[in-house]
Amino acid sequence: MATLSDFGAFMERFILHPPQQLPLKGLTFAVKDIFDVEGYVTGFGNPDWARTHGAAVSTAPAVLAVLNAGATCVGKTVMDEMAYSINGENKHYGTPTNPCAPDRVPGGSSSGSAVAVSAELVDFSLGTDTGGSVRVPAAFCGIYGFRPSHGIVSTTGVTPMAQSFDTVGWFARDPIILNRIGHLLLQLPDMDPVHPNRIIIPDDCFQLLSIPSDRVTQVLFKSLEKLFGVVFPGEVVKHINLGDYVNDRVPSLKHFMDKSNEQKEYNIPSLVALSSSMRLLQRYEFKNNHGDWVLSIKPDLGPGISERIWEAIRTTDEKINICHTVRNELHAALTSLLEDFGILAIPTVPGPPPKLQTEATKLETFRVGAFSLLSIAGVSGFCQVTIPLGMYDNLPVAVSLLAKHGSDGFLLNLVESLYVPLKEQIKIAESMNY
Amino acid sequence: MATLSDFGAFMERFILHPPQQLPLKGLTFAVKDIFDVEGYVTGFGNPDWARTHGAAVSTAPAVLAVLNAGATCVGKTVMDEMAYSINGENKHYGTPTNPCAPDRVPGGSSSGSAVAVSAELVDFSLGTDTGGSVRVPAAFCGIYGFRPSHGIVSTTGVTPMAQSFDTVGWFARDPIILNRIGHLLLQLPDMDPVHPNRIIIPDDCFQLLSIPSDRVTQVLFKSLEKLFGVVFPGEVVKHINLGDYVNDRVPSLKHFMDKSNEQKEYNIPSLVALSSSMRLLQRYEFKNNHGDWVLSIKPDLGPGISERIWEAIRTTDEKINICHTVRNELHAALTSLLEDFGILAIPTVPGPPPKLQTEATKLETFRVGAFSLLSIAGVSGFCQVTIPLGMYDNLPVAVSLLAKHGSDGFLLNLVESLYVPLKEQIKIAESMNY
């Protein structure tokens, strides 16, 4: 009870001391060279950028939050130039070696951050994901990668690529660490894992895979069944055609439908249209951010990236408003599909990492499929995790789970609890080379 | 340069250790009894609420963030019942004593949090501000209080009052500590203070003051001039009529204009309309949050609060959509008024704290003026700080500064740099009893 000397201010007096142990104490990490670190130039993957920018005068809040939680930063990592690639090949600074498949690309643009984790040089790392720059290198390097719900982790002090898609993401080999970083950066309360009440499997998306889709879906299902001790009934696991669902619920996509029906045999038209709307808005925002710099400096840029950047510079505001409508419609459609505790499982990418120095034209099928899948979370702002599923034919396999905007804690908890059953199922699948 | 053993992942290797000293080490704080603290019942200011709710199973992220930064929590503070008052009088738990004016109300609803800081029982405290619950008790108790931009600090684990206005705010005697808490909770980077490029003085708002408005404006101006070493030219300091500005730019307010023109002599019609729209939406959201509980428990509620809560329970969705339009229009109007580095100075409240146990009807003029002023940040979502300006006639005086949504760091830095010149000007004003 209150006493006179407390001025009646207190309901109850007690002492809660600061925690004895900082949550990330003893862990090491690295940051993509897109984050400001006081005293260092933020290089943004390109030497002309580094040359024309001074040292950062303060450290990005996301990096500070991790440092303040007790982790030690050991350096800045190589990235794709201006974050404009998902390949991870950098002609200026070298292509980080994919520890899972040294003759394959590591994935980008957060290439060095993924490689540093995969090679066990650090416990975790920070990257950014605009169009897939955490999800793709995580899949290619056989590690966990998390893209949080858009707008939740501060991007202050992070060089922008395209703000309405930019997110701060992170990599780890261990989902317990992945979750711990999430709790810190997303300021999540501790809560017990919740059973998903629906698991949506879009069969059409799994048909994009160049490896047997059972290799992915069976490992995932069996692990979920082990975890929850049940065979999921039909009302929980739902097989759908996501392309049709999106086509019906996102009418403004008609403005991005490719009438030529080229590449029809291996794609999902509504998701290709979705990725077109994403890439248009991305180009437009990129141009507004960096058009003046590119035009005045004319930076030396690698193949593929140069073409994309100059295409972005030529973007007008035509159809930009429709891109915003697409986002709103997709957000609503996927929110009603998943609600608070549903997950959507999709392949992260259509197959294993491409060989180093594959020509861009030869990658076209892969890229169309990849962006069809990546734009689902990209446009909706939903959170997505990449989960490594071991090796198939000596190349890394991955799957992704998505949850609705703001359900990051639910998704991260689920991934952490899946770890043990997943390891077992992966072992079985690998032993059967299945 | 990269070596083979680092897989080419690094741009640069260096070591950044976790900080030796946690940013809030050695500071003590208290939290309003609206925040979940694991193992304690969140009482929400009312014994029937406490009786019908179990202990919290996790601690609110905002409280955890402060604990993790090294501060020690010493208890939970008294608040107004269900946060539905700005007075600070609680018939169940007693009214915390205002250390500046013991025969006056401390202000609410974060009454105990403000008193604990003002009485030097803690270094800082956490409160919440929906309609004014941090700004008002800060003004009444002669301390600093900060209401951040809406939606930036996590309200997870905080009992909701009306979500589209609810914010986590904080109190301190010292603006350096106020700023440090802000840097932590808002994840702000360190940056140098920026000169405001415009200072908007709405003369009509200062005319609401029951004390000489010069006592407030002169102390503020002279301090700003001292700080920046200049007499601000006319293009920086702009005197405006905010009522007219809002009336012109927020056309949907016409739906909330009081046609009776009652109380016309002492109010600003468009701001009274603004506060009507705020209070309507607040009632509607409160009902959706707590209507079922109130109807089933029929809690014992204090005078004034009981009437407001039962009025809220009867609210329909009529005009709710217009409230959202008002918000969008006001947000746009004030954004173009202030831009990134402008500040709007207003009285926090129309005058000194009312006497204890003043009848509600006698307070009506004060409340109309108070909510006219409080709804500016409330509806726009802008950040607002209450700055104590010493005593006038033995009662505390305060002023508020507002900055646009997201300019919290700018505002907090400005307040910290103003501290020294302000102390000097307050001393001069107090010595002249001016």
% of chain B exceeding 90 in pLDDT = 82
Minimal CA separation from A190 to chain B, in Å: 6
Give domain limits for chain B: 26-431
Q: Are residues B112 and A157, on separate chains, in Cβ contact within 8 Å?
A: no
Judge whether residue A4 has pLDDT over 60: no
Q: Which helix (H) or strand (E) holds B295?
A: helix B269-297
Closest CA to B414 of B381, B379, B387, B378: B387
Of B62, B121, B189, the CB nearest to A59: B189
Phi, psi (5° rounding) for residue B240?
Answer: -135, 170
Residue A25 in contact with partner chain B when CB distance is under 8 A: yes
Q: What is the pLDDT of residue B392?
A: 95
Residue A40 in contact with partner chain B when CB distance is under 8 A: yes
The CB density around residue B359, as the number of other CB atoms within 10 Å, is: 9
Q: How far apart are CA A112 and CA A94, in angstroms?
A: 10
The string of DSSP letters for A144-170 reads EEEEPPTTSS--TTB--S-TTT-EEEE
Residue A69 in contact with partner chain B when CB distance is under 8 A: yes
Q: What is the pLDDT of residues B65-111, one digit of tens each?
A: 999 898 999 999 999 999 999 999 999 999 999 999 999 999 999 99
Mean residue pLDDT across chain A? 93
Could you tell me the pLDDT band of residue A433, with boundaries at 50, 70 and 90?
confident
Question: Active-site residue numbers of B?
Answer: 32, 109, 133
What are the structure tokens assigned to B207, written together? 């005319």
Residue A193's Cβ-count burial label (10 Å; 0-12, 13-18, 19+) is middle
Residue A88's Cβ-count burial label (10 Å; 0-12, 13-18, 19+) is buried
**A377 close to A143: Cβ distance less than 8 angstroms:** no
The CB density around residue A240, as the number of other CB atoms within 10 Å, is: 15
Judge whether residue A191 has pLDDT over 90: no
Q: What is the mean pLDDT of residues B200-226?
A: 94
Q: What is the pLDDT of residue A38?
A: 92
| Strand-by-strand arrangement of the A144-147 sheet | A237-240, A198-202, A342-346, A395-403, A383-392, A144-147, A167-172, A124-129, A28-32, A72-77, B10-16
What are the structure tokens assigned to A238, written together? 């739902």
Q: How far apart are CA B361 and CA B378, in angstroms?
A: 24
Q: What is the pLDDT of residues A325-367, one digit of tens each?
A: 999 999 999 999 999 899 999 999 999 999 999 987 888 889 9
Q: How far apart are CA A419 and CA A411, in angstroms?
A: 13
Q: Which helix (H) or strand (E) holds A15?
A: strand A10-16
Q: What is the pLDDT of residues B117-158, one digit of tens each?
A: 999 999 999 999 999 999 999 999 999 999 999 999 999 999
Q: How far apart are CA B337 and CA B332, in angstroms?
A: 9
Q: How far apart are CA A384 and CA A149, in angstroms?
A: 8
- One-letter amino acid at B146 equals F
> Which residues, 6 or more positions from B432, have their beta carbon under 8 angstroms from its beta carbon?
none
- Best of A3, A5, A6, A11 to disrupt the B interface (most B CBs within 10 Å) is A11
Measured CA distances, B12 to A32, A93, A231 (Å): 10, 11, 49
Judge whether residue B369 has pLDDT over 80: yes
Q: How far apart are CA A95 and CA A108, in angstroms?
A: 10
Furthest CA-CA distance within chain A: 81
ipTM of the complex: 0.84
Q: Which of residues 109-128 of A touch B (CB under 8 A)?
A: 111-113, 115-116, 119, 121
CA Rg value for chain A? 22
Q: What is the mean pLDDT of residues B422-434?
A: 89
Helix, strand, or coil (residue A37): coil
Judge whether residue B1 has pLDDT over 50: no
Q: What is the mean pLDDT of residues A392-416?
A: 96
Higher pLDDT, A434 or A423: A423
Judge whether residue B351 has pLDDT over 80: yes
Q: What is the pLDDT of residue A364?
A: 85
Phi, psi (5° rounding) for residue B392?
Answer: -135, 125
What are the structure tokens assigned to A386, written together? 């990449």
Q: Percent helix, strand, coil in chain B (nearest 5)? A: 40, 15, 40
- A133 is a catalytic site residue: yes
Q: What is the pLDDT of residue A365?
A: 86
Catalytic residue among A133, A149, A275, A375: A133
Q: What is the pLDDT of residues A255-265, one digit of tens each?
A: 999 876 555 56
Q: Which of residues 86-105 of B touch A (CB under 8 A)?
A: 93-97, 99
CA angle in degrees (0–180, nearest 5) for A106-A109-A115:
35
Minimal CA separation from B257 to chain A, in Å: 33
CATH class of domain segment(s) B26-431 = alpha beta
Minimal CA separation from A1 to chain B, in Å: 9
Mean residue pLDDT across chain B? 93
Interstrand relation of B395-403 and B342-346 (parallel, antiparallel or unpaired): antiparallel
- Best of A13, A16, A149 to disrupt the B interface (most B CBs within 10 Å) is A16
